[in-house]
Amino acid sequence: DVKVTQSSRYLVKRTGEKVFLECVQDMDHENMFWYRQDPGLGLRLIYFSYDVKMKEKGDIPEGYSVSREKKERFSLILESASTNQTSMYLCASRTDRGFEKLFFGSGTQLSVL
Amino acid sequence: DAKTTQPNSMESNEEEPVHLPCNHSTISGTDYIHWYRQLPSQGPEYVIHGLTSNVNNRMASLAIAEDRKSSTLILHRATLRDAAVYYCIRSGTSYGKLTFGQGTILTVHP
């Protein structure tokens, strides 16, 4: 089975800190995604990457950046964390060889104080 | 803009069929319809997808209207483990972004 692993289940950071959320997948998938999930708003796409060193903005990229130096790893970076970035962050991956389903990690609950 | 519309919540009794509707009236001819569900404290998981024809798999069935402006996810016999948020999504390419909406919260009563 495909495994998408997010480095932390819970994370607490202070306002202004630089935050790295790491995601690793073990199935050689080309596409990787970062979503955030907030009550009443569903999942919203922050960034996605369709290959190494490639990235595209999703629907809410402001305040975030990403890094994809290796195929298996996709990092979400909060350059200066703010309280409105307190959220559940979900990583997903997928192959681009024809239609394939998304595989999600279990999520990282980030609290910014 | 999720481009699909789903009821906020639905309820069902255990072992009864559940029909979860989704409206996607602006769908284009090449957009797929996907369904995912999210169990408590987990990331979403794939359920089923289709383009034009009805689809079946071990988890569910997907019935797509002839004009493709709506679809229905069918759980043939709901169990307590099916209680989750169900998301209906449309997407046009195999690697394009998938935009999730708020989904439908399904409650299953014993």
Judged against a pLDDT cut of 80, whether residue B34 lies above it is answered with yes
Around Cβ A57, how many Cβ atoms within 10 Å? 14
CA distance B6 to A13: 35
Spatial contact of B85 and B19, defined as CB atoms under 8 Å apart: no
The DSSP-derived string for A12-39 is EE-TT--EEEEEEESS--SEEEEEEEET
| Minimal Cβ distance to B95: which of A42, A44, A50 | A50
Which residue of chain B is at minimal alpha-carbon distance from A103?
A: B45
A50 chain-B contacts, CB cut-off 8 A: 95
Provide φ and ψ at A77, rounded to 5°: -120, 130
| B100 close contact with A: CB closer than 8 A | yes
The closest alpha carbon to A23, from A71, A58, A75, A65, belongs to A75
Query: pLDDT-based confidence at A39, cuts 50/70/90?
Result: confident
Segment A66-104, tens digit of pLDDT:
999 999 999 999 999 999 999 999 999 988 766 678 899
Q: Looking at residue B100, what is its pLDDT?
A: 81
Using CA atoms, how far residue A15 sits from A37, A38, A77, A85, A109, in Å, is 20, 19, 14, 10, 16
